[in-house]
């Protein structure tokens, strides 16, 4: 396996197992996990010094995913219908979870601690509870080729080779199918804009291009929030504090913003109220793992009226959601 130094572009070759097929990185621990399909092992690479160790897993591992919050690693073993669960702290397999036929894709939502396994031969996705290992099998009617979790919306995207993009609602496990122009073999998301990029085709068109999906359409909102950037967009604090500036440009009368709400890496949890008075507010995050994060914030122009589903009555206008990407850096790095 080749390791490229991003600062110098220098390439270092690290020996792994036979026929490495997939890799995943735990940014919180600086450990890299390589699934070796030809040797039925996972090679663990220490990102600090490129030293390696080997963990035996199921037959023909073909996909791997990491939950940096729990430090658990999930390896789909194609030839035995199992998901190997590795404890990153001990480097041992702590469970084998039965899924369905020929699992070849795996993804994790670290916010909900749910794991999604794409089973090619049974045209299904197995949902695994990261605490109990209880499973729920969802029939797709299409072979899953790749899986991607959008933690912002708790949606799971399943690419298929048969001109179908399948979306699973992580809260309800309901399935929605979208016809597309070609097979879906990979995708990526911009956590700031929420746009999903699917290479190789244009959605609803023919020919090779890049498809771009947006989960919800947005429009201009005169009630805005600005998030003050961190130095170099980095922090060594695991509970960083952020500064917010609220503004209203309604015309002819602009009501004074009354508050700001924020949360990190998702829109699905409870929004926390920032402290302060218009226009300056501040808020501190819960404890975060090392690695990239996104903080979201919006302003309101009235008293809190059920922001978190508490059932309070009243009139309130919520502003547009601002997003800011930052990285938590371990001390000394």
pLDDT tier at 311 (50, 70, 90 boundaries)? Answer: very low
CATH topology of domain 223-328: Immunoglobulin-like (2.60.40)
- Given a cut of 50, whether residue 306 has pLDDT beyond it is no
Separation CA 317–CA 301 (nearest Å): 6
Average pLDDT in the 6-16 region? Answer: 92
Closest CA to 73 of 51, 53, 57: 57
CATH of 2-214, one of 3.30.450.20, 3.40.630.30, 2.40.50.140, 2.130.10.10: 2.130.10.10
Quick one: tokens of 19? 């026929």
Closest CA to 294 of 158, 181, 189: 189
Q: Considering the chain, what percentage of its residues have pLDDT values greater than 90?
A: 59
Q: Where do we find the tokens 């009617």? A: 141
Separation CA 60–CA 283 (nearest Å): 47
Note whether 2-214 and 223-328 share their fold: no
C-beta of residue 133 within 8 angstroms of C-beta of residue 115: no
Separation CA 256–CA 317 (nearest Å): 11
Cβ-Cβ contacts under 8 Å for 299 (sequence gap 6 or more): 223, 224, 225, 244, 246, 247, 248, 257, 259, 260, 318, 319
C-beta of residue 64 within 8 angstroms of C-beta of residue 104: no
Domain boundaries, the chain: 2-214, 223-328
Q: Is the pTM of this model over 0.85?
A: no
Helix/strand number for the chain, H first, E second: 0, 30
pLDDT tier at 190 (50, 70, 90 boundaries)? Answer: confident
Least confident of 50-54, 73-77, 148-152: 148-152
Give the pLDDT of residue 216. Answer: 60
Give the pLDDT of residue 208. Answer: 62
Burial of 14-39, coded b for 16+ CB within 10 Å and e otherwise, reads: eebbeebbbbbbbbbbbbbbbbbbeb
Q: Would you tell me how many other CB atoms lie within 10 Å of the CB of residue 233?
A: 11
More confident residue, 197 or 62: 62
Separation CA 87–CA 44 (nearest Å): 12
Least confident of 22-36, 230-244, 248-262: 248-262
Q: Would you tell me how many other CB atoms lie within 10 Å of the CB of residue 171?
A: 11
- Given a cut of 80, whether residue 253 has pLDDT beyond it is no
* Dihedral sign computed on CA atoms, order 93, 94, 99, 105: negative
N- to C-terminal Cα distance for the chain? 24
């Amino acid at each position: 396996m080749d390791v490229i130094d991003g600062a110098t572009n220098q390439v270092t070759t690290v020996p792994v197992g036979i026929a490495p097929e997939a890799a995943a990185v735990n940014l919180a621990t600086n450990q890299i996990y390589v699934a070796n399909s030809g040797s039925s092992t996972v090679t663990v690479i220490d990102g600090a010094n490129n030293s390696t160790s080997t963990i035996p897993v199921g037959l023909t591992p073909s996909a791997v995913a990491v939950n940096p919050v729990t430090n658990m690693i999930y390896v789909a073993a194609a030839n035995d219908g199992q998901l190997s669960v590795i404890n990153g702290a001990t480097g041992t397999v702590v469970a084998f979870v039965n899924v369905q036929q020929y699992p070849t894709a795996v993804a994790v939502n670290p916010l909900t601690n749910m794991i999604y396994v794409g089973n090619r031969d049974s045209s299904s996705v197995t949902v695994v509870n990261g605490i109990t290992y209880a499973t729920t099998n969802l029939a797709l009617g299409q072979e899953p080729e790749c899986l991607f979790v959008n933690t912002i919306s708790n949606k799971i995207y399943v690419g298929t080779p048969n001109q179908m993009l399948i979306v699973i609602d992580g809260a309800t496990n309901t399935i929605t199918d979208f016809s597309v122009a070609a097979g879906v073999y990979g995708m990526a998301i911009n956590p700031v804009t929420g746009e999903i990029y699917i290479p190789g085709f244009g959605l609803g068109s023919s020919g090779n291009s890049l498809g771009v999906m947006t989960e919800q359409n947005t429009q201009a909102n005169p009630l805005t929030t600005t998030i003050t950037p961190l130095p170099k967009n980095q922090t060594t604090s695991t509970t960083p504090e952020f500064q917010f500036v609220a503004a209203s440009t309604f015309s002819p009368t602009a009501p004074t913003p009354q508050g700001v709400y924020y949360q990190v890496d998702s829109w699905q949890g409870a929004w926390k109220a920032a402290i302060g008075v218009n226009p300056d507010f501040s808020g501190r995050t819960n404890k975060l793992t090392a690695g990239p994060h996104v903080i979201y914030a919006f302003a309101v122009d009235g008293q809190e009226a059920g922001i978190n589903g508490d059932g309070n009555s009243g009139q309130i206008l919520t502003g547009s959601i601002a997003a800011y990407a930052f990285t938590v850096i371990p001390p000394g790095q």
